[in-house]
Amino acid sequence: MTAEQDTPAGDGEAPALDLDRLLAEIDEEVERRRASGELPAELERELDELFARFAPSTPGDNDLDAIVEQVERASFISAAVPVESGKPGASQIKRVLRKLMAWYMNHLAAQVTAMGGATARALRVVVARIDLLSNRVGNLEELVTDRSGAGLDAGGPAGEPDTGDVELLDAWADAVVEVLTDVDGRVLHADCADGRLVTRLLEVGLDAYGVDPRRDVVDPAAAGGLDVRSGTVLEHLGAVPEGALAAVVLSRSVDVLRRADQLRLVRAAAAALAPGGVLVVIGTAPEAWGRRRSPVEADLAPGRPLHPDTWSHLAAAAGFDPVEVRRRDTDHDLAVIPVDSDLSSALNANFARLAAAVFGADSHLVVARKPRS
C-alpha cells in the first residue's frame, strides 16, 4: 500500500496524502539503499553541503542544539576536491593531482574529521548538562528578584516594601546618618525600598539617591519626588564611573544575592567609591534570617546572609581600611527571676547565655572606609 492509498477518496477527488506514511516510506528506502551501497556516504555528504549552501540555517545565539548540529555537519572534512574547470585541460590536471595526493589528503581529513566529531560529542554532553542544571535551578532567582512579575509576595500590598526591609532600615537609620554626616558627594542606597533611608539622608543635607529592582516599590517613591530608580545594584554600580560616589549603603541585596554576586558587590562598590569613600552594609544575621524575612523569600532566595566578620574580611580584601562592625541584639521574652538567692542569680546568668545562643544579634552594620591614598 502506498501513502496515497492509505485513505480512500471520494469520486472525482484526488486521493488523500498521508505525510507520515510517505516520510516513513522514504526513510525505509534510504536505509535500504544505504545498506545495498547504492547511496554512498560521500554522496549524502555532498547533498548536505549543497543544501546548506543554498538553504543555510541560521540558529539564534541561544539555540545550542542547532549550533551543535552545525558543528557536527562542519566536522566532516572531504578530501574529494572539485576538479571542474572552464579552462582547456585544467580538469585533467586537477584529476591527476587529486589522485596523486589522495592518500595524504584522506589521511589528514580523517584525523581532522575525528577531532571534529569528538568536539561535537563533547558539546552534546555539555549541552545536556546545562539543560539539567537549568531544569534544577528553574527560575527561583527571578521569583525573588522580580516579585511583582512572578507573583512572589514577601511583604505587604503592591507598592509597599516587606516588613523585613522596614524594620531593618528603621533600626539602623540613625547609625547610618551618624556614619555619613561628614561625607561630601553622592550617596547611593541600594536596595532603597520605598526610599525612607534616602529621605533621612536628604534631611541632613546629603546628596542621596536610591536604586531597587522592585519597580512596584520604587515607582510610588519616584512619583513622590525622590531620586530613586529601578535596577539591580550590580548593574548600577557597573554603570557608575570609577570613583564617582562618596558613599554606598547596601541593604537587602546583601542578604539574597548568590555567593559569587556578594563577592562581586564588594569589589564593584570599591571601584565606584572615591578615595576616602564609605561603604556601609546593613545585613541580617544568618541566625535571624528565617525570623526577619518572610518564609517564602527566605526559602526561595538564591543566597543567604553572610556573617559580619565575613563582610569585614571581604571589605579588607578589597582594600578598605579601617573596617568597623556594629551588632544589634534582638528582644526576647525570657523573664528574669528576681534576685533573692544564689539560685536565682545562677538561673538569670543561664537565661542570659541561653538568650544569646538562641536569639543573638538579629542584624549588623559593617562600616568600611576606602583609604584616601
Q: Beta 245-251 vs 273-284: how paired, if at all?
A: parallel
The answer to whether residues 354 and 332 touch, using CB atoms and an 8 Å cutoff, is no
Distances (CA, A) of 33 to 38, 40, 76, 336: 5, 9, 22, 92
Tens digits of pLDDT across the chain (373 residues): 455 554 455 555 556 667 778 878 887 887 787 777 777 766 766 776 666 655 555 555 566 777 777 777 777 777 676 777 777 878 888 888 878 887 777 878 788 888 877 888 888 888 888 777 776 665 545 544 444 333 333 444 555 566 667 888 999 999 999 999 999 999 999 999 899 999 999 999 999 999 999 888 889 999 999 999 999 999 999 999 999 999 999 999 899 888 889 999 999 999 999 999 999 999 988 888 877 667 777 787 778 899 999 999 999 999 999 999 998 866 555 555 566 656 666 666 665 666 555 555 688 999 999 998 7
- The pLDDT tens digits of the residues spanning 54-111 come to 555 555 556 677 777 777 777 777 767 677 777 787 888 888 887 888 777 787 878 8
Query: Three cell numbers at 163?
Result: 516588613
- CATH 3.30.420.40 assigned to 160-369: no
Give 331-358 pLDDT, tens digit per residue. Answer: 555 555 566 656 666 666 665 666 555 5
Tell me the pTM. Answer: 0.58
Per-residue model confidence (pLDDT) at position 208: 97
Helix (H) or strand (E) holding 68: helix 64-74
